[in-house]
Amino acid sequence: MQYAQGLRRLGCDVYWLEQFRHGKDPARDARAMATFFQRMEQFGLGGRVLLYTLGDGADAPIEYVGVTQAVADAVLRRADLMLNFHYAIDPRMLACAHRTALVDIDPGLTQLWISTGQLRVPSHDVYFTIGETVGTQAARFPDCGLRWVHIRPPVCLDLWPYVHDPRCEAFTTVAGWWSGKWVKVNEDRKEVCYDNNKRVAFLEYATLPEMTSQPLELALLLAEGDVEDRCLLERHGWRIRDAREVACTAERYQAYIQESRGEWSCAKPFFVRLQNAWVSDRTVCYLASGKPVIVQHTGPSAYLPDGEGMFRFSSLDEAAAAFDTINTDYERHCRAAREIAAAYFDAEEIMGGILSETLS
């Protein structure tokens, strides 16, 4: 949505194209679609949604929800650009637009999946990535024979205003405990699998609350069987919230970030392993809100600051020390956080660059 809103602010006529996968309960499907259309309306995209479904098989017909095939085809034919986040999109969806561009938000992983045949990406005119090392000699993974254009995760600064309140207590984050997959790589002619779930990363820092007086809270999407993990975290001093409670709507998600003192978070293990200077779009929202962030180091960066407004840690000691530094002059680090967002992640500037690269 940050990408879409950035384009709208540049005067583009933006349509939202989304695939819907039917479940087993038609009533639940209907509620999901109603909620989806309501949220699109809230973001100014009412009447600008192409929601489609696919049947089984490569030649299954494309069917649209709420608009006719003729209307959908007309929109796609006149589109100057289709900006695609669905790596394995049906190639037929790309055929009509004048120009197509893929946005890689899983740098390193996307290229590994393509190179090992785990992912088949249709041809695009341009390939964007948020990973600094993708396609460079510093990369620890192949470029798949593609030219990668580097961008940064955008945030709409007017939608995420500076909110300063020194009374905000806890450093927080929002995460799926099992968000991530096992990653298959070839090492010494053998296929090796690595656990890339957030759970692995967080458990390495389970004792952090015992090293600081700063209250720490994790809003996690836990499974029913994760009672032992939750108890372990709480024994070490973590506050645990349900991610479905704090992020069930865009408004609740934003309020949770704005009511936080800052963010502390880990990255998925492979983003650290691949050293691609990955940064989360969630972290960018904290920064825009004027919330200092303490996030796991994912590799050298040509632009990411470290030490004012943003801290990038590689150990428990570094993470704990960052809280003391921030709390010594909290307002200064809050202002610095917002300045980082404005300098590097402004959606209008980033989307202007995307348009220039794709349409010129």
Instruction: Please report the pLDDT score of residue 187 as a whole number.
Output: 79
Q: Do 15 and 149 sit in the same domain of this protein? A: yes
Is beta strand 171-176 parallel, antiparallel or unpaired with respect to 216-221? Answer: parallel
Instruction: Please report the pLDDT score of residue 350 as a whole number.
Output: 98
Q: Do 134 and 178 sit in the same domain of this protein? A: no
Q: Do 16 and 126 sit in the same domain of this protein? A: yes
Structural domain boundaries, residue 43: 2-154+347-359
What distance in Å separates the CA atoms of residue 264 and residue 313, rounded to the nearest whole number? 10
* Average model confidence (pLDDT) across the chain: 95
What distance in Å separates the CA atoms of residue 230 and residue 109, rounded to the nearest whole number? 28
Q: For 2-44, write each residue's pLDDT tens digit.
A: 999 999 999 999 999 999 999 999 999 999 999 999 999 999 9
Instruction: Please report the pLDDT score of residue 185 as a whole number.
Output: 83
What distance in Å separates the CA atoms of residue 6 and residue 280, rounded to the nearest whole number? 17
Letter for the amino acid at 76?
L
Instruction: Please report the pLDDT score of residue 44 as a whole number.
Output: 96
Q: For 186-225, write each residue's pLDDT tens digit.
A: 877 788 889 999 999 999 999 999 999 999 999 999 999 9
Instruction: Please report the pLDDT score of residue 46 as a whole number.
Output: 94
Strand order of the β-sheet with 100-104 is: 82-84, 100-104, 126-129, 148-150
Q: Do 354 and 338 sit in the same domain of this protein? A: no
Of the listed ranges 51-55, 180-184, 268-272, the least confidently predicted one is 180-184
Q: Do 144 and 276 sit in the same domain of this protein? A: no
Q: Do 145 and 196 sit in the same domain of this protein? A: no
Q: Do 318 and 355 sit in the same domain of this protein? A: no
Over residues 115-125, mean pLDDT: 94
Of the listed ranges 113-127, 159-173, 183-197, 328-342, the least confidently predicted one is 183-197
Instruction: Please report the pLDDT score of residue 55 as a whole number.
Output: 78
Q: Do 177 and 63 sit in the same domain of this protein? A: no
Instruction: Please report the pLDDT score of residue 48 as a whole number.
Output: 97
Instruction: Please report the pLDDT score of residue 186 as a whole number.
Output: 80
Are the C-beta atoms of residues 299 and 207 closer than 8 Å to each other? no
What distance in Å separates the CA atoms of residue 97 and residue 231, rounded to the nearest whole number? 51
Is beta strand 16-19 parallel, antiparallel or unpaired with respect to 190-195? Answer: unpaired
Whole-prediction pTM = 0.96
Q: Do 225 and 295 sit in the same domain of this protein? A: yes
- pLDDT confidence of 182, banded at 50, 70, 90? confident
Q: Is 159 a domain residue?
A: no
* CB environment 154-170: b (16+ within 10 A), e (fewer): bbbbebbebbeeeebeb
Are the C-beta atoms of residues 308 and 333 closer than 8 Å to each other? yes
Whole-angstrom CA distances from 212 to 156, 166, 300, 322, 348 are 33, 18, 27, 10, 38
Q: Do 100 and 185 sit in the same domain of this protein? A: no
Over residues 160-188, mean pLDDT: 92
Q: For 68-98, write each residue's pLDDT tens digit.
A: 999 999 999 999 999 999 999 999 999 989 9
What distance in Å separates the CA atoms of residue 80 and residue 339, rounded to the nearest whole number? 33
Instruction: Please report the pLDDT score of residue 191 as a whole number.
Output: 82
Dmax of the chain from CA atoms?
A: 62
Q: For 251-298, write each residue's pLDDT tens digit.
A: 999 999 999 999 999 999 999 999 999 999 999 999 999 999 999 999
Instruction: Please report the pLDDT score of residue 1 as a whole number.
Output: 96
DSSP per-residue letters across 118-171: S--PPP-SEEEES-TTTTSTT-SS--TT-PEEE----B-TTTS-----TT---E
Q: Do 284 and 354 sit in the same domain of this protein? A: no
Instruction: Please report the pLDDT score of residue 174 as a whole number.
Output: 98
Number of domains in the chain: 2
Q: Do 128 and 190 sit in the same domain of this protein? A: no
Give the position of tokens 């994790």. Answer: 218
Count of other CB atoms within 10 angstroms of residue 57: 7
